[in-house]
Structure 1
Amino acid sequence: MIITGILLALLAGSLVSLQTIFNSKVNERIGSWSTTTMVLFTGFIASFVISLLVEGKNTFSLQHMQSWYWLSGAIGVGVVFCLVQGMKLLGPTYAISIVLTSQLSFALLFDSMGWLGLEQIPFSWNQLIGVLVIVGGIVLFKFGGLKKETSDSSDKQAHTVPSKS
């Protein structure tokens, strides 16, 4: 059961990265809001058809649901739009790193507080340290090579000897 969950989470991560790249390429052609509309519409069609095939009539069984859960689709609009813009401004690796860190941080907050109907999971400093290590890794990833690139280019200039032709 745990292995299946891990594999599904790994697959979801790879699919998010793949979708983000696709969304970025679509955005280059048709713009951010059109991309968001297209992504969510094609997602709706795909999930609706699969739901009908897998769940049949239960697709339309929506009782016992909190009314504010209906905001999920609107939140999805924000997710797709912000991710497309983040990719455009930061590039895929940096944007996804920040998204995943933010996701982990808010999941820790929601779990620890028991918000939004989640079972409250006691906060531990190890969890916070884990998030901070990831943040440190992102900072190192983004800014760790800047000094080296600068020194490499200045070394090349310093060691270049003009030719006497």
Structure 2
Amino acid sequence: MILFGILLAAIAGAFVSMQTVFNNKVNEQTGSWTTTMLVLFMGFVASLLASLIFEGKNTFTLQHVQLWYWFSGMIGVGVVFCLVQGMRRLGPTYAISIVLTAQLGTALLWDSLGWLGLEKIPFTPAKLIGVLVIIGGILVFKFGGRKETKSESPVAE
């Protein structure tokens, strides 16, 4: 069961990266808000169809859901908009690595404090070191490479 969860999480990570590239290509032809609207509308259509196929009439059973959780779609607007803008300014690898690190750090905070109805999981120095190692990896990725100069650029012979 754990391996299946790992596989699904890895697929989700690949999907986020792929979606970000696609969103960026749409953004090049339109604008950030048009891209955000298009992405979320297409996501709505796809998830509505999948829900109707797999859950049938239970799709519209929304009992016992606290009202404030219904606003998560609005958070999605910020996610898509910020991803499109971040990728345009930083490139896909750097932007996604920062996004994933921010996700991990935020999840660690929420888990440790038990926010949003999550089971409180004790904060440990090892967890903090894990996040710091990832941040160090991003810094090495961004600043640790050799910079190419114009004289080192390949020339056609």
In the superposition, the TM-score normalised over structure 2's length comes to 0.94
Point out 4+ residue stretches in structure 1 off by more than 2 angstroms. 153-156
1:2 and 2:21 are equivalent in the alignment = no
Residue type of the partner of 1:120?
K
The correspondence of residues 60-139 of structure 1 with structure 2, limited to 5 A, is: 60-139=60-139
Alpha-carbon offset, residue 149 of structure 1: 2.3
Alignment-mate amino acid for residue 29 of structure 1: Q
Structure 2 residue ranges without an equivalent (≥5): 153-157
Percentage identity across aligned positions? 68
Aligned residue-pair number: 152
The offset of 1:70, in angstroms, is 1.1
SS state at 2:63 partner: coil
One-letter amino acid of the counterpart of residue 87, structure 1: M
Per the TM alignment, residue 65 of structure 1 is displaced from its structure 2 partner at its CA by 0.6
* Shift, 1:94, TM fit: 0.2
2: distance between equivalents of 1:14 and 1:109? 24
The verdict on how the C-alpha distance between 1:120 and 1:46 changes in structure 2, with shifts beyond 3 A counting, is: same
Deviation at 1:71, TM superposition (A): 1.2
Pairing 1:139-158 to 2, within 5 Å after superposition: 139-145=139-145, 148-149=146-147, 153=149
In the alignment, the residues of structure 2 paired with residue 109 and residue 65 of structure 1 have an alpha-carbon distance, to the nearest angstrom, of 23
Residues of 2 paired with 1:133 and 1:20: CA distance?
Answer: 24
TM-score, length of structure 1 as denominator length = 0.89
Return the letter of the residue paired with 1:149.
K
Residue 37 of structure 1 corresponds to which residue in structure 2?
37
C-alpha separation in 1, matches of 2:132 and 2:24 = 28
* Match in the other structure for 1:20: 20
The structure with the larger Rg is 1
